[in-house]
Chain A
Amino acid sequence: MTRYMLSVYGPAERTAYGSYPSKEDMLESFADTGAFNDRLVADGYFVFADGLAEVATATVVDGQGDEPVLSDGPYLEAKEHLGGFWIIDAPDLDVALRLAAEGSRACRGKVEVRPFSTPDELQALLDS
């Protein structure tokens, strides 16, 4: 099994209904996403999933100096930001891509699929 993060990106500016054009769209997407999450759990892929509050609520902390330096807002200025994510365990990338396509349809957003680094890779770093 490989662990993947499926990240959903959405607009920085949210409407009254998050990133959805209307309340109906929002409720429909919530229902579809809930059903998708249930399938992930039932099929044994699910590790974790959640949505994030809007990007303006973020604070960046740099603790590398003597005193932590705080700045208001996200780390990167962009038109689109991480809005939520799934963490799944899947046997290979084809399965992860298929699940990402289902999740993308359910949540109405583009999904980035990225593997976590593995113990083997960490070991290779330690050995290098």
Chain B
Amino acid sequence: MTPSPVDDAIVRAHREEWARVVATLTRRFGDLGLAEDCAAEAFATAVERWPRDGVPPNPGAWLTTTAARKAIDRLRRESRRDEKHQEARLLFDDDPPAPRGAIDDDRLRLLFTCCHPALAQETRVALTLRMVGGLTVPEIARAFLVQETAMGQRITRAKAKIKAAHVPYRVPTADDLPARLDGVLTVLYLVFNEGYLASGPGTDPVRHDLTGEAIRLTRLVRELLPGAGEATGLLALMLLTEARGPARVSSTGELVTLDEQDRGAWDRDLIDEGHALVRDTLVAVAAGGPPPGRYQLLAAINAVHTYARDAHDTDWSQVATLYDRLAALDPSPVVALNRAVAVAQVDGPEVGLALVDRLPLDGYHAFHATRADLLRRLGRSAQARDAYDRAIELAGNTAEAAYLRRRRGQLGATDAG
């Protein structure tokens, strides 16, 4: 059975209008939980009425008005004291719809509230997916392999904290904006990565629901804060990564590394869009804007990879230079590991291995996978085998483990010396 045009309209309205409805109601009534409940009720009403009455000419306005009426009804039912005060608040009933700009600001406020630093990182992720992304609690619980009741409690507690502690509903001041925006982008990147390299033995290797949602929300941030180079960088990074998705897992469910991917299977539209965004950030930096942060640098690295029509044409010295700059910003061992991979391509596996061996990453599967590959290229099969063993043991992603097992199987029986 194909979905009817009304079903399509409801799905589209949910995707496009959910955050707007929640955000507008939160501003108007000052209560995130109430906004969420009434938004959900308004969509349920749409599911009931639109097939019968037809899709309204402006679905967003219809949903906002319907949700606001439900909120007012509920507040009226609940207000048993201070009637005059409540009535005064409810006079906003017939507000004209806010102009577009103001609504966009509401969504931005909503995002900053959900990603407030007083909330735990995992709570920020869950709350953002619920309030801004419109995912249901069971969907979020499934995405993060958490029991539905536990996820529901996490979100309920967060809403209670926001209300009781009076977490402000506003875009941070210019002074705080860079740090707070970084917090928002971290949440979106976590969502993307969970989708792109899903963990857990029973999960699909790539979760397009999560990568797609992260891209959509990052687009929204960029639309709302067009001057934020890091938001542009993160969007470009996600697009250039997502573009390689079709070539990244083989028909047998095995991870295909960048050098072995069928580059013809990459999504050209996403790559073109990602490249255009990287060019935008380069132009902004050249025009005297702030220096590129980590997402812009990671996007540029991905652009270098995706410019090469063939893996052999990759400009590895450019990649290594970009990783140098990233390492200067972020001296973490994981960045150093990626830098070592690029250096190995430029200066040889021996130089790369010397850099890798210094890193305190024994519990990280990619560290052992990288060592294994460098040792293999140096002909040190026995050591490579041990490193593959460790990497397989630590790999959480099913496709990646399959790839590593194949690679281990291909090792020569004896050392080249």
Spell out A's residues near B (CB within 8 Å): 2, 4, 91-94, 96-97, 113-115, 117-118, 121, 123, 127
Contact = CB atoms under 8 A, between A and B. Distances in A.
Q: Binding site of A, secondary structure by majority: helix, strand, loop or mixed?
A: mixed
24 contacts: A2-B166, A4-B165, A92-B166, A92-B167, A93-B116, A93-B165, A93-B166, A93-B167, A93-B168, A94-B167, A94-B172, A94-B176, A96-B165, A96-B166, A97-B118, A113-B165, A114-B165, A115-B164, A115-B165, A115-B166, A117-B164, A118-B164, A121-B164, A127-B80
A35 B172 CA distance: 27
A114 B81 CA distance: 27
Contacts of B94: none
A92 B176 CA distance: 15
B80 A2 contact: no
B234 to A, nearest CB: 24
Contacts of B164: 115, 117-118, 121
B78 interface: yes
Nearest to A3: B166
Contacts of A121: 164
Nearest to B169: A92
Q: Binding site of B, secondary structure by majority: helix, strand, loop or mixed?
A: loop
Q: Sorted from nearest, which 7 A-B pairs have the closest CB atoms? A: A92-B168, A2-B166, A115-B165, A92-B166, A93-B165, A93-B167, A115-B164
Contact of A127 (B78, B116, B166): B78
A91 B169 CA distance: 12
Contacts of B168: 91-94
A96 B117 CA distance: 13
A93 B113 CA distance: 11
A117 B168 CA distance: 17
Contacts of B172: 94
Interface string B113-126: 00010100000000
A4 to B, nearest CB: 8
B316 to A, nearest CB: 44
A127 B77 CA distance: 11
A93 B118 contact: yes
Given A2-B165, A93-B118, 19 more contacts: A2-B166, A4-B165, A91-B166, A92-B167, A92-B168, A93-B116, A93-B165, A93-B167, A93-B168, A94-B167, A94-B176, A96-B166, A97-B118, A115-B164, A115-B165, A118-B164, A121-B164, A123-B81, A127-B78
